[in-house]
Chain A
Amino acid sequence: MNTLHTKLHTAASDRRLSNTERALLRTNLRSHMAVVGSTARPKAVRSPYQFVVMHRAVSFVALLLLVVMSVGGTSYAAQGSLPGDFLYPVKISVNEQVQAALAVSPVAKAQVHASLAERRLEEAQQLAVRGTLDATTTMEIQQNLTSHMDIAQTIARNIATTNPAASTQIATQLSSSLAADDAVLASIADRSSKKGIRRDSFALSQAVQSDFAHGAFVARHVSSSTNGFMFADSRSRLKHSDMRGVETTATTTPSVPAVVTDTASTTATPPVSSSAVGQLARQAKRSLSDVQGQYAALGGSLDTTTAAAIQTRLAGIQSQLDQGDAALTSGDTTDAYADYTNAIGAATRLQTLLKASKRFRPAILKQLFDTTDMNGDVLGTSTVSTTANDASSVDVPSGAPVLPGGAGLSHRNKKHQD
């Protein structure tokens, strides 16, 4: 026998069906054989056993898992658990695994993993509010968050050339939602009387930021800034004194490892295709209408100032979209692409904050709405004016984007970034 064959055959030997899968296949096949039978004509009628046997399009393993799990209410009960709870492992290892398995396309998978990463931060928020966030739970959360985030980022990177719009969407939504949730976490921690909570939430935030940057990438045709992770507002609220004794290898503005760039993009960025821009435009508009719907659903539960702030942001996103449309009409596809990307980022951010507003007291959100703008930049530092702003209470350089070279959100925001 050919030796290369032996080698590769062995290397591929781990690709096999499990016994369960095989048994399932056999059963399905037998049913099919019984129904189709060996008599002449090809059947025109669908097998009546189909619904019992499982529609061919459905994933076997995932369904099997669901069946196993839904016996008893364990998986349902586990869903609301937090790190440290007895049922938390069920949530992480069972429920969420099934959720991930049910997503078939790469884009769907990326979205599931991104939402799971976000969920970890939401859990951290809950723990912080209860005062039970500690080093152990922080570590647990961070590890799981990073692994889901990595998967989402990897998918985004992998589809960057074949589906740039989806790739940008995934990356932008990931960074915006994580940054927004991190801001909420910082806001909660800031109010906590426990120093440990403030310290641990800061450590978590640092770790997430660093891990994110490590896996971030720069899509070739997108300006380097749109995949950044803006932590500006969250850092600015932490009291400086809390950072003493926090063991980080970085200084207060962490030095972020260089964003991984596509090596082919050193010179001119190739123009983005019109179909990609179109796709992104549609997604951007959908994002805006989603968040508008969400806001409408909140009804009158917000105070007038916050409501006004939200409306201003919604208008801001709309004008960003208009700007994109205008750029597109004048043939500026790269600019249009950046505009739509920013719109998606701002809309996702707002959505995340609105979701948080249902979980926490208004005061927490109010602070964020009052002090930051729709892109997460701290108000007062992002204008062109050189007048000293009220930075005396802010000990951490704020508004500083976390990308080397200080490239903030795309120049299209017409904001001055230092």
Chain B
Amino acid sequence: MTDTNKEFEQAFEAHTDELFRHASLRLPERERAVELVQETFMRVWEYVARGNEVREYRPFLFRTLRHLIIDEYRKHKTVSLEGMMLAEDESVERLLPTDDTNTFEAAVERFEGKRVLQVLAELPDLYREVLLLRYVEGMSPQEISVVLDESENVVSVRIHRGLKKLKVLLEPES
């Protein structure tokens, strides 16, 4: 029992910052982001306290946070659900040549960091989410696939498309 407590507290210390960072980049209001982070930990604690095991806290925490954010959007309807759920068939594009993604990454990289984050906020949430996880939190496509509960291929395709849209949004301004 003490082990679980300890593990959980360690997870708190280790992941609070990144959870908050992610939440604050997805939600318009900072206070709400703080509240959702607290809610995330409380729910995960309740889950653990019921006797379930959490092997890896990081993806599990992010997954919980993600569901809370979805609920938040539904409540406030500030983002159209279509914008969120919109996924043109992602299974069609099979494994993409990695050069392609690298090209887009390089293109986006030319812009100032703050500006990129700003423009990211304009993308449909579907892409924003995956780009934040990949390029702000530094998660691998495999980790992201656990968080989103999607296949790695879907994740890669989404990242690729997200980068492409991001590049398009960034470029007219430069």
Contact = CB atoms under 8 A, between A and B. Distances in A.
A-B complex is real: yes
Interface of A: 1-5, 7-12, 15-17, 21-22, 25-26, 28-29, 32-33, 36-43, 56-57, 59-62, 101, 104-106, 162
Contacts of A2: 105, 135, 138
Interface of B: 1, 4-5, 8, 12, 16-17, 20-21, 24-25, 28-29, 31-32, 34-35, 37-39, 41-42, 45-46, 48-51, 76, 78, 105, 108-109, 112-114, 116-117, 134-138
A25 B49 CA distance: 18
Given A11-B116, A17-B34, A5 B42 contact: no
Given A5-B136, A8-B117, A25-B16, 8 more contacts: A2-B135, A9-B136, A11-B114, A12-B21, A28-B38, A32-B45, A36-B45, A38-B1
B106 to A, nearest CB: 8
Contact of B117 (A12, A22, A101): A12
Contacts of A10: 113
Given A4-B105, A9-B138, A16 B42 contact: no
A323 to B, nearest CB: 32
A276 to B, nearest CB: 14
Contacts of B38: 25, 28-29, 56
B37 A61 contact: no
A15 B24 contact: yes
B116 A1 contact: no
A242 to B, nearest CB: 46
A11 B105 CA distance: 16
A22 B31 contact: no
B113 A11 contact: yes
Contacts of B135: 2, 4-5, 8-9
B105 A38 contact: no
A117 to B, nearest CB: 21
A57 B138 contact: no
Contacts of B51: 40
A15 B31 contact: no
Given A7-B109, A29-B38, A12 B136 contact: yes
